Amino acid sequence: MDLRRLLLRLAAARPHVLLVALPGATEARLAVEAELGRRGWPAAVSPADADVLLVAGPAGPALAAVVGRVWEQMPEPRVRVVVEVVADVSGTLDSAASQLASWTAARPEYGGPGPREQEHRGPEHGGDEHGGHGGGMEMPGGLPMADLGEDRDGLMLDRLHVALGPVLPDWPAGLVLRVELQGDVIQEAEAEVLDPGRGGSSRGDVPAAEDARHAAARHLDGLARFLGVAGWADPAARARRLRDDLLAGAEPAAVRGQVHALTARVRRSRTLRWLVRGIPAGERAVAARLADRLAALDAAVDGAPPAQPGPSRPPDLAALARAVVGAELAAARLVVAAVDPDTDLVAEERGARHA
């Protein structure tokens, strides 16, 4: 066995999975993340790092085009699979691993017939022939062209148009944040959720009258995503494991000590405090929103009576866009993670409107 074949087999045994969660598919996303954690399969951070492209939920035309472009950017060997039903998660991942394992035998240089890949949908099937959502002229390498704009001192500086999302690790499903930059500072922004109304229930299996267990799971999910964006992988993984335990039926009292240890560790981190210090995020700063989430999580596992839930409202996307204006580009993802907009509610609202 040569080195190349050995490396392919090792990659197939523990593939990197790029998870693309679609609006309304939170339950599928949570099930996939829990199964990936049980298997020890790492999450890919980009298409170049991915062996498996896993789409959670049914994609509409806009997101299908995005998924197609992500697929084109992935190196071989690669597999693309879709999970729409939670019960199919384990079998779908088994199938992906099997396809990767058979890649070596299928390679023409080893006497096989060659790999068979899924059809990529191009422009004639609803895809987008340009490098970004909505098209537009781009520089080599996919960078958009820069325009000129006047800065605060009256100088004419380049303005660069950049789209964040919808495929980023720990990013709200289907969200696209289009920003206009001067230097690394965001001057203008607008937010949109692609293909709303395509998926199922909001926040997975969390009921309308939220109990302490589901409240704690929801806060752990948001905390895990925030810590992932902040680059603190170990406590992010711990938050996900505790979330999965609660959603699997564990009572808050059973994980209380572990949750308190996690929240205390996050509060003690000087590096995290320095990272989020002074970053505004709309009505509440990033640091204040993080403190609120930690306090709510502690209260949920301590058995405090849950707050009476008000009517579910879709996130204010215009307010989210305003919250990142004036921030550095590097801070924009922290702002979004701190606000944690529930894009499933956008899907439900617009889906009901068009029904």
Specify the pLDDT at position 10. Answer: 65
Specify the pLDDT at position 136. Answer: 36
Specify the pLDDT at position 240. Answer: 96
Specify the pLDDT at position 149. Answer: 52
Specify the pLDDT at position 307. Answer: 61
* Contact present, 248 and 220 (Cβ < 8 Å): no
Question: Global pTM?
Answer: 0.79
| 149 HSE (CA, 13 A, CB side) | 16
**Per-run averaged pLDDT (10 residues), the chain, 355 residues:** 63 84 91 93 92 91 93 92 89 89 60 43 36 37 46 61 92 94 92 77 46 92 96 95 95 95 97 94 94 96 71 84 92 95 75 43
Specify the pLDDT at position 105. Answer: 56
Residue 146 Cα to chain centre, angstroms: 27
Helices within 202-314 (DSSP H only): 212-230, 233-247, 252-268, 270-276, 286-301
Specify the pLDDT at position 85. Answer: 85
Specify the pLDDT at position 102. Answer: 80
| Tokens matching residue 76 | 């071989």
Q: How far apart are CA 286 and CA 289, in angstroms?
A: 5
Specify the pLDDT at position 8. Answer: 63
Residue pLDDT, tens place only, 197-226 = 655 444 444 444 468 899 999 999 999 999
Specify the pLDDT at position 143. Answer: 39
Residue pLDDT, tens place only, 58-111 = 888 999 999 999 999 999 889 999 998 888 899 999 998 888 888 655 555 444
Specify the pLDDT at position 118. Answer: 41
For 163, other C-beta atoms within 10 Å of its C-beta total 15
3-class SS of residue 292: helix
| 188 HSE (CA, 13 A, CB side) | 7
Where are the strands (E) in the chain, listed by range?
A: 17-21, 52-56, 79-83, 146-150, 156-164, 175-182, 185-193
Q: Pairing state of beta strands 17-21 and 79-83?
A: unpaired
* Contact present, 346 and 23 (Cβ < 8 Å): yes
Per cent of the chain over pLDDT 70 is: 72
Amino acid at site 129 = E
Amino acid at site 155 = L
Amino acid at site 67 = V
